[in-house]
Amino acid sequence: MINKQDKISQEASLAAIQIRSAILQSQARAAKAVNQEQLALYYGIGRFISANTRNNNWGKGIIEHISNQLRQELPGLRGFGTSQLKNMRSFYEAWSLLESNSPIAIGESHETVVNDCNTIRQLQLANSPNFPLTEFLNISFTHHIRIIENVKDTEERLFYIRYCYNYKPSTNDLPSLIKKQDLFHHQGSLPNNFVQTIPDYKQAFRTIQMFKDEYLLDFINVEELGMRDEEVDERIIEQSIIQNIKNFIMTFGKGFTFAGNQVHFDKLGHDHWIDLLFYNRDLRRTVVFELKKGNFKVSYLAQLSSYLRILNDDDRREGEKPPVGIILCKNMDKDYVNYIMQDFCQPMGVATYKTADEIEPELLKLLPPKEELMKLMEIDEQ
């Protein structure tokens, strides 16, 4: 029998949870509204600066003078330094096509003078089936700038806008994702049989988009281990991944949780050892990674298929989808892999990987110094 005091306590607890949920949802909506208003303002200011600087209406150094005067007249104002004002101009110029070439509706507000060079117009966008409006308005201005700095093609920029919205990478990670890992050109291109083995087409497509055809495991440096390719054992690579599991998960993207390495399953008296086992919350599937130090072999598919069969029969829980397997090897012939994979009934894909010692010198220049990377990791963990 629950006494009156306990009942009040339970009701209060439930009410507090509901109110807290409402507060958090309201705060999230407010934050989105602030971000959208900020983007609209920055676009308008960028348009104003672009019209005057590109047409030589303003003399050299005027942007710096504007920034200084804003700071004097609005003490405590942040985000309007010289570089930030130039970023606003870049933001407008990158997306000025939204005004001139797009069917997306544009509204104008806060007009002060008819002359375009003296007009600050804030961008108002209507929904369009061909433009990711929600994603565009809900990533930070800094994310937009990092994308603009590193990507020239519009379609590629839209891809990274969607990626930032869905996967929330930090602004420090973005240049690496764009330049080193080249997510746009590697998306959904790994050899796989997902469409044939995953009945739900949307799930199959989502799984294809989850994995790339090549991964840069830049935290594994074979030269530092004192070994060359022919001497590197798969266990060495595996242990390097385990020691850097956070980096590995970040490489593969959103929703992965690490379940274990060399995971043992006994099936009908036969031992099976899975290299790396993960669970992906977005796919609601267990994901197996099998590491191979050399070129792709057909026998790898048979081995992976047996693991997926055992996981599906003995480890899959209620509500989960059948497991997926990815072979990570050094080299492969994509056409051949796609051809051979047709007769396998378990969902599998094959990707290649590179280690730190294989990165081209030009790409290495993009990496910050090791000490700076360590500081960034410490800040991220805090």
What residues contact residue 29 under an 8 Å CB cut-off, 6+ apart?
A: none
Residue 235 lies in a domain: yes
Domain containing residue 306: CATH number: 3.40.1350.10
- The pLDDT of residue 108: 39
Are 226 and 374 in the same domain?
yes
Cα→Cα distances 39→149, 258, 259, Å? 17, 37, 40
Q: Which residues pair with 277 in a beta bridge?
A: 260, 288
Q: Which pLDDT score, from 0 to 100, does residue 231 have? A: 46
End-to-end Cα separation, the chain, in angstroms: 46
Q: Are residues 202 and 119 in the same domain?
A: no
Domain assignment present for residue 177? The answer is no
- State the residue range of the domain holding 295: 185-381
- Rounded to an integer, the average pLDDT of 63-88 is 86
Please tell me the predicted confidence (pLDDT) of residue 35.
Answer: 85
Q: Is pLDDT larger for residue 208 or for residue 280?
A: 280
Q: Report pLDDT for 354.
A: 82
Question: Tens of pLDDT along 314-334?
Answer: 999 999 999 999 999 989 998
In this predicted structure, the answer to whether residue 379 has a pLDDT above a threshold of 50 is no
Are residues 77 and 117 in contact, defined by beta-carbon separation less than 8 angstroms? no
Do 227 and 362 reside in the same domain of the chain? yes
> Who contacts 375 (Cβ-Cβ below 8 Å, separation ≥6)?
none
Same domain (yes/no): 110, 162: yes
**pLDDT for residue 373:** 44
Shared domain check, 156 and 26: yes
Q: Is the pLDDT of residue 145 over 70?
A: yes
Q: Point out the least confidently predicted range of 51-60, 127-136, 232-241, 371-380.
A: 371-380
- Domain assignment present for residue 174? The answer is no
**Cα 90 to chain center, whole Å?**
23
CA distances in angstroms from 188 to 42, 185, 205, 343, listed in the order given: 34, 9, 8, 21
3-state secondary structure 41-110: HHHHHHHHHHHHHCCCCCCCCHHHHHHHHHHHHCCCCCCCCHHHHHHHHHHHHHHCHHHHCCCCCEECCC
Give the angle subtended at the CA of 46 by the CAs of 86 and 40, to the nearest 5°.
Answer: 125
Residues 190 and 321 placed together within one structural domain of the fold: yes
Which residue has 């047409």 as its token pair?
55
Q: Say whether pLDDT at 195 is over 60.
A: yes
Length of the chain: 382
Is 353 within a domain? yes
pLDDT of 15 > 80? The answer is no
Domain identity same for 121 and 220 = no
Q: Is 114 exposed, middle or buried (0-12, 13-18, 19+ CB in 10 A)?
A: exposed
Out of 168, 193, 224, a domain closes at 168
Residue 323 pLDDT: 95
Give the count of domains, the chain: 2
Same domain, 249 and 161: no
Whether residue 246 lies inside any domain: the answer is yes
Do 72 and 114 belong together in one domain?
Answer: yes
Distances (CA, A) of 134 to 131, 166, 276: 9, 11, 36
Return the DSSP state at 305.
H
Give the residue from 141, 168, 195 where a domain finishes.
Answer: 168
Beta strands in the chain (DSSP E): 106-107, 124-125, 214-217, 256-267, 270-280, 285-291, 324-329, 348-355
In a domain, 173, yes or no: no
Cβ(128)–Cβ(153) below 8 Å:
no
Residues 149 and 208 reside in one and the same domain:
no
Is the pLDDT reported for residue 380 higher than 70? no
Q: Is residue 175 part of a domain?
A: no
> What is the per-residue pLDDT across 346-369, written as a single tens digit (0 to 9) for each?
999 999 988 766 655 554 454 444
Amino acid at 119: T
CA distance 63 to 69: 10
Answer whether residue 196 is part of any domain. yes
CA dist list (Å): 355 to 157, 221, 334, 341: 27, 6, 20, 26
Helix (H) or strand (E) holding 314: helix 298-314
Question: Residues 211, 131: one domain?
Answer: no
Both tokens assigned to 39: 């983007």
**Residue where one domain finishes, among candidates 168, 195, 225:** 168
DSSP class of residue 295 equals: B
Helices 4-53 and 82-95 cross at an angle (nearest 10°) of 80
Above 70 in pLDDT, residue 299? yes
Q: How many helices and strands (H and E) does the chain possess? A: 17, 8
- Do 263 and 149 sit in the same domain of this protein? no
pLDDT attached to residue 286: 94
